[in-house]
Chains A and B, each alone.
Chain A
């Protein structure tokens, strides 16, 4: 077999393609004889020649269409996911290192739009994980007007890192600069330099300066991804692991090979941005020289700092000579200032390290007062520390970082040993300094002391202990004592997991508590919010314990009160039935909270018109409570109140009276007169008294209770309003019609549906009494409509409303029909007496 050049193959292919089918077959047969391998290959190639549309591989559309499909998938994929307190709402873009989404705060704490950047897990270099926590807190404290703040960062369970950043609604640098004139572009570039310079002063090299990381929003330049490189670690930030294009156009050559972000590399990137986006007129030699110096191949040939680059720009703008051009006259001067800048810069670095370190370890975990005292002590210490070495005062005397740290460590022992908390915090910072300059022995010693102190102060799980352990583990790693380091890290992780579940539980408990209280407070807005917190609480409980767990069931049952407040009785009943089913599987039906659930379920059944089930649930509940809690437990009173209320509903006023009396007997023993249950019992007693033909007694009782309720709960409280409607009805009975009318009008707004139906009916009766038959008919119409619609009402209650309406409308046929239902009520029921009298009158 002979080797064929690519060209020969192509020519042969052309020939084959030119031939008709039979000629082609003939040629292939001929080939087969000469060179079977070639023939085989050509046959194979021909088999790939298909119609115009077929693409190689298994793709079905051209690359631009595919890219659009990728974007669409990106857009939709993570929407609705939750990261920390934030929910992803939109896809924004995909960059070299990861995807950017827009998110909203989802825990209801407050409204906030954020940008969420998600980096793939492989970028989370494992050795940086212990640093991550501290770093992200440090970053969250740094603020600069031209930098989009990192609000939070975290690691998803799979190890992906996410960054929650301030959301910047603007255009990327290159897009935004399109319509900006030369001066404007230079101004933006100066802002950019300021932002980068701030990064450097905060000991952070950006590492990924490029147009898509710089936004112009409302005329303000904002640098994104500040600190991301630092958080994900040097090896991860390498643009060489990132795709070829965009980043590469701005990354320094040494950064492409080593991946290490650095001040020099940032200066290079600034130079590239300057060259590509700022300098429109290439022939301007001075600007070209500035760009060339910033982008010098050797890092040492570039500007030494962003400030030096800025100084040249300023010189250019004010027509001074720039350093990027050889200027022998200015050379010494330049060297001099450069040297000073370095000394000054190194001092500010130390100060910032200390300040930032102290802040990092102390913030968030302490009360405001302690923090203030601490900050003062620390500030004083740091000030003293640098007084002697201030370059202004000491002349240009180079003092090394080592000297400053050694002095500080000595003075620390002398001055602050009486304040052990601060003493140890500063010790931790100085230990980091020693660690940074490679003095592992001293670092280890100091960090061990810090841990010992923390162990005396705190019990695990504790974040201080974790920090101290991780710091020691970092030193161990430098010694290659990996087993010791790993043990420490594992312990830290254990503590953090424990802390996290404590935190999660507390979070859920807080949502729960807020939800219950908001619901009890009432009002549409509060109830909406209560429902939101209910969902959040349940989501966390479900995450923590699983949704077949007693913990979850208990919360679900209790939070039924919240859906009840929203008048969603179906969900309330379902939730409670679910909770009881779970409790039964775990044998927990006799636990007080689940007994309570059964009682509450009875209330839901009442609202749903499932009266028979309500009666048996109530009975069961009362019996269980008595068995479990004893006969005179306050909760017995609650149950009896529910039973009384249900009996009123059913027209069983004598049972109702028995229940309230029994309930009040328990309540008077065990609960204060201001207690909600006691007030409710008394109101229901008043209602029962009125309905059993004792309006005078009822009137005395109700006035007294309403007064106490008003004091206790306020006149606008839902329960006070409900009590007032009952009071009004009783006053009507005792003849105080005007007051009844006033009270009903004042209470009508904000009542739940079933109470509104009652109040309307009573309003109709008041109108009738006042001789306003037309008004009475209107109110009664509405009451009849509601009572027929709402499942809570029993047949006699519907008849009651029809009876009132029929009389107002002078419709004797309907009145008789209704009265015939009402006469089946107990003999002393006021409605039965009224109905009987009407029927008698008709005869």
Chain B
């Protein structure tokens, strides 16, 4: 975490925005290449971006730091997509015809995704580390090893924190009456 101290917040944002572009581009290529019913392979995307950027204009501090930034960028990409989907949905009526049950469920999930994202921002205020772990595992789809590397923790801690992160996030999502 040392690389992402307070003073580096602006640098962190810049790096996220750069990675946003790179991952967006790589996602486009990946999705265009294959039958897109296969899930987005985020780890492959992130690795590819790393290899490219390592020798390019932007020099990541280290791989862990890079993974953390990539996770944030990935979250932005996915949330933007979900928002745009819902925006289109709210506006449209005639063009998008009758919803089948499946579409309805997909919309509900997009809505959920945005709520989780908001809850994650609240969680970050109190438990920053847990929020980052959640970002890596849920939004970026990292495994425990990658998450551990991104946040500079042991794998064991990641596994324990993942349990807590989900519990705290669920608490944020369902405030007690």
Contact = CB atoms under 8 A, between A and B. Distances in A.
B103 to A, nearest CB: 6
A120 B138 CA distance: 29
Given A10-B127, A63-B139, A70-B82, A158 B94 contact: yes
Interface of B is mostly: helix
Which of A64, A78, A97 is packed against the most chain B CB atoms within 10 Å?
A: A64
Contacts, number: 201
A349 to B, nearest CB: 34
B141 interface: yes
B82 A67 contact: yes
A65 B108 CA distance: 15
Interface in A35-92: 40-41, 44-46, 48-49, 54-59, 62-75, 77-78, 81, 83
A172 interface: yes
Interface residues of B, number: 71
Contacts of B74: 63-64
Interface stretch (A242-250, A312-320, A811-819): A242-250
Interface string A442-485: 00000000000000000000000000000000000000000000
A71 B90 contact: no
A45 B84 contact: no
Contacts of A63: 74-75, 78, 113, 138-141
Contact of B92 (A13, A17, A71, A120): A120
Contacts of A119: 88, 91
Contacts of B75: 63
Contacts of B149: none
Given A6-B127, A158-B94, A56 B166 contact: yes
Contacts of A746: none
A49 B31 contact: no
A352 interface: no
B100 to A, nearest CB: 9
A557 B150 CA distance: 71
Which of B31, B81, B166 is packed against the most chain A CB atoms within 10 Å?
A: B81
Contacts of A366: none
Given A56-B116, A63-B139, A45 B109 contact: no
Nearest to B125: A6
Nearest to B99: A77
A280 interface: yes
A95 interface: yes
Given A44-B176, A59-B116, A69 B91 contact: no
A157 interface: yes
A99 B21 contact: no
B128 to A, nearest CB: 9
A10 B113 contact: no
Interface of B: 17-18, 20-21, 24-25, 28-29, 31, 36-42, 56-57, 74-85, 87-97, 102-103, 106, 108-110, 112-113, 115-116, 119, 126-127, 130, 137-141, 160, 163-164, 166-171, 173, 176
Given A71-B31, A172-B25, A244-B76, 10 more contacts: A40-B176, A56-B166, A63-B78, A64-B74, A77-B96, A98-B88, A175-B25, A243-B79, A244-B79, A248-B17
Interface of A: 6, 10, 13-14, 17, 40-41, 44-46, 48-49, 54-59, 62-75, 77-78, 81, 83, 93-99, 118-123, 156-160, 162, 172, 174-175, 211-212, 242-246, 248-249, 276, 280, 282
13 contacts: A14-B164, A48-B171, A56-B170, A63-B139, A64-B42, A66-B113, A68-B38, A70-B85, A72-B36, A78-B96, A156-B95, A158-B95, A245-B20
